[in-house]
Structure 1
């Protein structure tokens, strides 16, 4: 959410809702993968923390409510999916979070997602 200075910090729950609202249209779509080539988005999992945990998940998006910090929940959720053999992509600009992700988990910056969402 913090990739654009649109006032998200004043109402994090509303910002999370705005972001999640556009995501269902991405499920099933073939997109340019951040590491090159094409990927089909099979599922979207959004990890939320703090006041953003109040969001309602739109159809087609699985919302995981972090019991503590969102980074740790993102790392463990990505690992759970990777352990099943799924191709996992985490969208984040946070270098510390990127460093904690398991080998093989792909990463994209927020601009990649914003472009897909037309934001």
Structure 2
């Protein structure tokens, strides 16, 4: 089983749907989509991935967004990348397999060995295919 670890700001920012007008609202929509995902997904390599849990890292204006059921929300006190790397390290040390969603190459380079990465497009396709939409304000 795998833990899905999501860089919320990076994923939200990957769609030019007006998210910048309401960062917390955009993060909330993404989190609702994450909460609605099934326990098995087509993975970035094509094989199915069983999810053991979902962890989402929020920062800045999205830090106060409510956490939907089934999602562990990490509210970064500082840079979101630093919080995500710390959580990834904790999960890897506990023996968890990681699927990290971010397009940030610098962040990817800081992840523990063995972490599998996928881009925001992969995650949006799973959410959109599950009947959820990103919504937007513009």
Normalising by the smaller structure, the TM-score range is over 0.9
Q: How far is 1:37 from its partner?
A: 1.6
1:62-118 per-position Cα deviation (integer Å, ceiling 9, x unaligned): 100001000010011011111111111110011111111111111100011001100
Aligned to 1:87: 97
Counterparts of 2:35 and 2:29, CA distance in 1: 12
Q: SS where residue 41 of structure 1 aligns?
A: strand
Aligned to 1:72: 82
User: Greater RCO between the two (CA within 8 Å, min separation 6)?
Assistant: 2
Moved more, 104-113 or 35-44: 35-44
Alignment of structure 1 residues 5-44 onto 2, 5 Å: 5-28=16-39, 30-44=40-54
The 8 Å contact of residues 24 and 61 in structure 1, kept in 2 or not, is answered as yes
Aligned to 2:13: 2
The 8 Å contact of residues 27 and 60 in structure 1, kept in 2 or not, is answered as no
State the number of aligned residues. Answer: 118
Q: CA RMSD in A?
A: 1.1
Moved over 4 A (4+): none
Give the unaligned 5+ runs of structure 1.
none
Q: What is the TM-score normalised by the length of structure 2?
A: 0.81
Moved more, 32-41 or 15-24: 32-41
Alignment of structure 1 residues 97-108 onto 2, 5 Å: 97-108=107-118
